[in-house]
């Protein structure tokens, strides 16, 4: 019973993690940019959701239709204004830039929403479905379900539309894509914007799961990096598998070993994967010499 409950919670948490990690892995796959600001953008979206909820009382899960385009716009502006400028620079440069961006966003959130915890508490935030002896938190279940829907849409866009094909083509072979007429700069801006747009839905879900605070983003970016390293950097299905595995691992560790170790799981995974299987579960090994 305890195991069933723990695994159930882990899978639900993992589903939400999958959505949060999807944007990060997508952006890395196409542009080789590790967007360290993804966590900060996630918190920003959560605070936008809080603001919408406070002013209008709109359900945070419905607020996704507002936060997603909003974050898409933020992502597009950031790419055009900042990241496009370091396209040719070494990857380390983009890490530095996005880290600076994360700190700037944290400061900005502190100015606007002050350094206090903000909570979005719709009627169902602290209630559960009870099935047998198990409990299924409603907020987490709704969040997980929403995440699945958004991920499904994202997957369809990537596989069934020309835009999606252009994005995947740019990820797999940049020169080849250019050769067949893909405008890679536009595709890059679009991908980055989509990557950031996923934080819109993610942030709205997050806002009902826990109180958020400008500095909350550090722990999120560490978790998300663990997930995409395990899944294989750049792979969307990989991110989903990685998220589910780590969601379960985190909860099982917390219940059977100690909550003290549950976060360490993420960091241990990063180290072990890099040592044993650097491409992760679903990532492909690139021949950097040819690609370069």
- Residue numbers of the site for another protein (CB under 8 A)? 2, 5-6, 9-10, 13, 77-78, 80-82, 85, 100-101, 103-104, 106-108, 110-111, 114-117, 119, 121, 125-128, 130, 135, 137-138, 140, 210-211, 213-216, 219, 250-251, 254-255, 258-260, 262-263
In the complex, minimum distance from the CB of residue 168 to another protein, in angstroms, rounded to a whole number:
28
In the complex, minimum distance from the CB of residue 102 to another protein, in angstroms, rounded to a whole number:
11
Cβ closest to another protein, residue 97 vs residue 241: 97
In the complex, minimum distance from the CB of residue 272 to another protein, in angstroms, rounded to a whole number:
20
Cβ closest to another protein, residue 216 vs residue 235: 216
In the complex, minimum distance from the CB of residue 106 to another protein, in angstroms, rounded to a whole number:
7
User: How many angstroms separate the CA atoms of 142 and 278, rounded?
Assistant: 34
Say if CB 198 and CB 22 are below 8 A apart.
yes
254: which DSSP letter? Answer: I
Cβ closest to another protein, residue 32 vs residue 80: 80
In the complex, minimum distance from the CB of residue 223 to another protein, in angstroms, rounded to a whole number:
9
Residue in 12, 3, 1 with CA at minimum distance from that of residue 247: 12
Instruction: Tell me the sheet residues that pair with 136.
Output: 129
Burial (0-12, 13-18, 19+ Cβ within 10 Å), 226: buried
Instruction: Write down the H helix ranges in the chain.
Output: 2-31, 38-56, 64-81, 91-113, 138-160, 162-172, 174-179, 184-209, 217-231, 236-252, 259-262, 264-276, 288-291
Cβ closest to another protein, residue 85 vs residue 277: 85
In the complex, minimum distance from the CB of residue 132 to another protein, in angstroms, rounded to a whole number:
13
Cβ closest to another protein, residue 94 vs residue 216: 216
Cβ closest to another protein, residue 219 vs residue 274: 219
281: which DSSP letter? Answer: T
Cβ closest to another protein, residue 127 vs residue 161: 127
In DSSP notation, 63-117 reads: THHHHHHHHHHHHHHHHHHTGGGGTTS-HHHHHHHHHHHHHHHHHHHHHHHTTS-
Residue 12 in 3-state DSSP? Answer: helix
In the complex, minimum distance from the CB of residue 125 to another protein, in angstroms, rounded to a whole number:
7
User: How many angstroms separate the CA atoms of 160 and 95, rounded?
Assistant: 31
């Amino acid at each position: 019973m305890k195991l069933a409950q723990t695994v159930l919670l882990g899978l639900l948490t993992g589903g939400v993690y999958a959505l949060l990690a999807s944007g990060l892995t997508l952006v890395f796959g196409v542009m080789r940019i590790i967007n360290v600001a993804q966590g900060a953008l996630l918190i920003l979206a959560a605070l936008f959701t809080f603001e919408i909820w406070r002013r209008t009382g709109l359900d945070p899960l419905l607020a996704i239709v507002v936060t997603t385009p909003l974050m898409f716009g933020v992502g597009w502006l950031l790419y055009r204004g900042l990241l496009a400028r370091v396209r040719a620079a070494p990857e380390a440069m983009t890490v530095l830039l996005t880290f600076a961006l994360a700190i700037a966003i944290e400061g900005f959130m502190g100015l606007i929403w002050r350094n206090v915890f903000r909570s979005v508490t719709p009627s169902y935030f602290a209630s559960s479905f009870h099935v047998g002896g198990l409990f299924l938190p409603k907020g987490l279940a709704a969040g997980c379900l929403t995440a699945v829907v958004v991920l499904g849409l994202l997957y369809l866009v990537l596989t069934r539309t020309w835009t999606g094909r252009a994005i995947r083509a740019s990820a797999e072979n940049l020169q080849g894509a250019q050769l067949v007429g893909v405008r890679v700069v536009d595709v890059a801006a679009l991908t980055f914007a989509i990557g950031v747009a996923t934080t819109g839905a993610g942030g709205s879900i997050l806002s009902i799961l826990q109180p958020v605070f400008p500095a909350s983003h550090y722990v999120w970016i560490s978790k998300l990096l663990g997930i995409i390293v395990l899944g294989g950097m750049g792979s969307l299905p990989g991110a989903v598998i990685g998220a589910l595995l780590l969601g379960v691992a985190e909860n099982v560790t917390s219940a059977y070993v100690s909550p003290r170790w549950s976060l360490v799981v993420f960091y241990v995974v990063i180290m072990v994967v890099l040592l044993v299987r650097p491409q992760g579960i679903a990532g492909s090994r690139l021949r950097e010499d040819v690609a370069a």
